[in-house]
């Protein structure tokens, strides 16, 4: 389950409320494309901006519309007891796995991060994905911390940040991680711009932002890379350089929302305030890239 | 109201629930010491770890026990609509002012930070304090952003991070901020270790972590500094250097909780998991400093 393409859909809001019918259509696109798994309520799915009741509704909706595709659900929150409550809700909703980032307000020591995972691991019955996302959590995982956390019973995968673009460095990075973690725990790359490199370097999975909105596009890369056709994967990723440049400039979160809006997959202003949609000029640039690259899936 | 010493009490938890009777005693200590204001649910008060219902209870308890001392209430949250709901609750509870930090998960642009304050300003009826706390929010305020935000009607004060220790640099910093912000908006220093410097450099207020637990100690510094006796303020602050060193090493949040625990003001493990209390060795160091400096208030 923790291999291949895991697609991270947006959680569209409309007038500050969860837009369930739009969300159902986003999930159905992923089902039609046959992604390997769906991760509801990742960073792209705005999990940290939604309250417990909303997150329950999103999780149930994702599972309901995902048909036979496994659904992972993000359960990150600032307080351990809140994470445990969200884990409970996600499991009740039918999640096949749980994604947990050590979100911070006060910075956390390695011992505190480990204890968080330990406290959650002790209460769940489905597999856990460790979400290493320093850009949002400000936690810097060491390989030693990966090692400690992957001793926990339910930890099944690690979502790592983007890998180096140099293939040798990328392979060395993935190899070093594998040497530290329990055998059987998969390594999934995030950072869409380096996903092809990551998969070619030996990652098992791609935890993908763009795959949640343009799944066919992401599947072309993941299937080529995991099927041994590195050249095609790299060539497709290289073709998307203007998209990766937009991600670098404005963040994958806002750019993906702008793409979804331009393709009429979501209504305008689908992100939770205070996060604002890209402005008109930025949206025009996104539209131009969508057209140029024919990003219509 | 936004001058002098604003004391930030801990919000003690016991078995993961708000320990209201202990909190009431912490507030009563601040009342007896005659602090100039109390800020409930600041960072020291664990606001980001508590849910809406808990935060309502804490705000009501603070106001109830504060007698005639004005109570400010922290209303920061990741989503604008959540902040607005918390502002509503705090005002219903009787808050005299509101403290708002632009908390982030996705990073925010200056426009997004401004829009957050604008959206909240439009809905409140009591004054707002802008909470500039880069260590926890990862937002870097520019003086231009201070300027924009202080054009808003309800903004009455800015809580700035610690000032430079060099007196000339500190004065230049405070002067520069004043040149940018609307007249009448006060400037309050945080970062307890440089509070004496900040007040001497022209800050109107000290938004104080240690003042929430050891108010007499903090008042000796703030009254001396604001009363023109700079030498006494600096000498008392210098005497506390071992305390500031502990803050620097372990964070003021955990160290203040350890002090409160050592003085039997709170029960053990009063912080919200995954935040852990200092370990036994660290707590022994805290106890030593408390005894050496006679930090019994």
Q: Would the CA dihedral through B32, B57, A50, A157 be positive or negative?
A: positive
Query: Which residues in chain A have their CB less than 8 angstroms from residue B51's CB?
Result: 82
Q: Which residues of A touch B (CB under 8 A)?
A: 16, 43, 48-51, 78-82, 102-103, 105-109, 111-113, 115-116, 119, 135-136, 138, 251, 253, 272-276
Spatial separation of the C-alpha atoms in residues A18 and B120, rounded to whole Å: 21
Q: What is the pLDDT of residue B192?
A: 97
**pLDDT per residue as tens digits for the range B157-173:** 999 999 999 999 999 99
For residues A270-284, average pLDDT: 97
Find where tokens 């660290």 sit: B282
Peptide bond into A274 cis (omega under 30): yes
State yes or no: pLDDT of A19 exceeds 90.
yes
Instruction: Tell me the per-residue pLDDT of B242-273, one tens digit each, with 9 for 90 and over.
Output: 999 999 999 999 999 999 999 999 999 999 99
Query: How high does pLDDT run on average in chain B?
Result: 97
* Three-class SS of chain A: CCCEEEECCCCCEECCEECHHHHHHHHHHHHHHCCCEEEECCCCCCHHHCCHHHHHHHHHHHHHHCCCCCEEEECCCCCHHHHHHHHHHHHHHCCCEEEECCCCCCCCCHHHHHHHHHHHHCCCCCCEEEECCHHHHCCCCCHHHHHHHCCCCCEEEEEECCCCCCHHHHHHHHHHHHHHCCCCCEEEECCHHHHHHHHHCCCCEEEECHHHCCHHHHHHHHHHHHCCCHHHHHHHHHHCHHHHHHHHHHCHHHHHHHHHHHCCCCCCCCCCCCCCCCCHHHHHHHHHHHHHCCCCC
On the 0-12 / 13-18 / 19+ scale of CB atoms within 10 A, A176 is exposed
- Counted across chains A and B, CB pairs separated by less than 8 A come out at 87
Work out the minimum CA distance from B251 to partner chain A, whole angstroms. Answer: 9
**Nearest-CA distance from A274 to chain B in Å?**
5
pLDDT for A297 = 78
Q: pLDDT tens-digit profile of A149-198?
A: 999 999 999 999 999 999 999 999 999 999 999 999 999 999 999 999 99
> What's the CA gap between B217 and B291, in Å, rounded?
14
Q: Do B106 and A253 touch (CB under 8 A)?
A: yes
Q: What is the pLDDT of residue B209?
A: 98
For B281-295, write each residue's pLDDT tens digit: 999 999 999 999 999
Among B79, B102, B273, B274, the strongest candidate for a mutation testing the A interface, having the largest count of A CBs within 10 A, is B274
Per-residue confidence band for A122, with pLDDT thresholds at 50, 70 and 90: very high
Class of domain A4-229: alpha beta
Shortest CA gap A114–chain B (Å): 9
- Quote the pLDDT of residue A190: 96
ipTM of model over 0.95: yes
Residue from the list B43, B107, B273 with its beta carbon closest to the beta carbon of A79: B273
Is B296's pLDDT higher than 90?
no
Average pLDDT rounded to a whole number, residues B180-184: 97
Q: What is the pLDDT of residue A296?
A: 83
Per residue in B103-116, pLDDT tens? 999 999 999 999 99
Q: Which of B43, B116, B274 faces A115 most closely, judged by CB atoms?
A: B274
What pLDDT, on the 0 to 100 scale, is given for residue A85?
A: 98
Q: Is the pLDDT of residue B277 over 90?
A: yes
Residue A143 CB neighbour total at 10 angstroms: 14
B297 pLDDT band (50/70/90 cuts)? confident
Question: What local confidence, expressed as pLDDT, does residue A166 receive?
Answer: 95
Average pLDDT, chain A: 97
Comparing CB atoms, the residue among A78, A111, A276 nearest residue B112 is A276
Arithmetic mean of pLDDT, A97-113 = 98
Determine the Cα angle at B138 with ends B115 and B4, to 5°.
Answer: 80
User: Are B274 and A80 an interchain contact pair (Cβ–Cβ within 8 Å)?
Assistant: yes
DSSP string, chain B: --SEEEE-----EETTEE-HHHHHHHHHHHHHHT-SEEEETSTTTTGGGS-HHHHHHHHHHHHHHSTTS-EEEE---SSHHHHHHHHHHHHHHT-SEEEE----SS---HHHHHHHHHHHHTT-SS-EEEE--HHHH-----HHHHHHHTTSTTEEEEEE-PPPSSHHHHHHHHHHHHHHSPTT-EEEE--GGGHHHHHHTT-SEEEESGGGT-HHHHHHHHHHHHTT-HHHHHHHHHHTHHHHHHHHHH-HHHHHHHHHHHTTSS-S--SPTTS----HHHHHHHHHHHHHHT---
Distances (CA, A) of A195 to A43, A211, A244, B91, B213: 17, 11, 11, 48, 50
For A271, the token pair is 């992100």
pLDDT digits (tens, 9 = 90+) for B31-52: 999 999 999 999 999 999 999 9
- Our CA-based measurement puts residue B227 at a distance from the nearest CA of chain A, in whole angstroms, of 34
What band does B213 get if pLDDT is binned at 50, 70 and 90?
very high
Q: Which of B108, B274, B276 is the closest to A274 by Cβ?
A: B108
Res A118: pLDDT: 98
pLDDT at position A140 is 97
**Quick one: average pLDDT of A291-297?**
92
Provide the pLDDT for residue B1: 87
A interface test, pick of B41, B74, B75, B106 with most A CB neighbours within 10 Å: B106
* CA distance, residue B268 to nearest chain A CA (Å): 17
Q: Give the integer Cα–Cα distance in Å for B6 and A194.
A: 48
Q: Chain A contacts of B80, Cβ < 8 Å?
A: 272-274
Percentage of chain A beyond pLDDT 90 is 99
Q: Which residues of B touch A43 (CB under 8 A)?
A: 105-106
B contacts of A253 (beta carbons < 8 Å):
106
HSE, CB side, 13 Å, CA atoms: give it for residue A88.
9
**What residues does each domain of chain B span?**
4-229
């Amino acid at each position: 389950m923790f291999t291949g393409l895991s697609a991270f859909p947006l959680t569209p809001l409309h007038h500050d409320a969860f837009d369930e019918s739009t969300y159902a259509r986003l999930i159905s696109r992923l089902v039609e494309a046959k992604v390997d798994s769906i991760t509801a309520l990742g960073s792209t799915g705005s999990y940290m901006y939604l309250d417990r009741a909303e997150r329950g509704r999103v999780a149930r909706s994702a599972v309901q519309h995902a048909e036979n595709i496994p659904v992972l659900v993000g359960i990150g929150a600032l307080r351990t007891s809140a994470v445990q409550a969200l884990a409970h809700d996600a499991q009740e909703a039918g999640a096949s796995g749980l994604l947990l980032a050590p979100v911070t307000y006060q910075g956390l020591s390695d011992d505190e991060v480990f204890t968080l995972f330990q406290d959650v691991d002790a209460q769940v019955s489905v597999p856990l994905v460790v979400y290493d996302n320093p850009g949002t959590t400000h936690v810097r995982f060491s390989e030693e911390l990966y090692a400690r956390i992957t001793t926990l019973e339910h930890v099944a995968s690690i979502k790592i940040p983007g890998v180096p673009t140099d293939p040798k460095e990328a392979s060395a990075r993935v190899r070093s991680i594998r040497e530290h973690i329990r055998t059987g725990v998969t390594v999934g790359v995030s950072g869409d711009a380096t996903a092809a490199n990551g998969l070619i370097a030996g990652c098992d999975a791609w935890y993908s932002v763009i795959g949640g909105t343009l799944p066919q596009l992401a599947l072309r890369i993941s299937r080529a890379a995991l099927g041994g056709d590195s050249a095609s994967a790299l060539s497709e990723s290289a073709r998307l350089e203007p998209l990766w440049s937009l991600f670098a400039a404005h963040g994958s979160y806002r750019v993906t929302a702008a793409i979804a809006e331009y393709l009429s997959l979501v209504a305008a202003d689908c992100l939770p305030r205070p996060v604002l949609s890209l402005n008109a000029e930025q949206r025009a640039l996104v539209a131009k890239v969508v057209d140029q690259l024919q990003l219509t899936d």
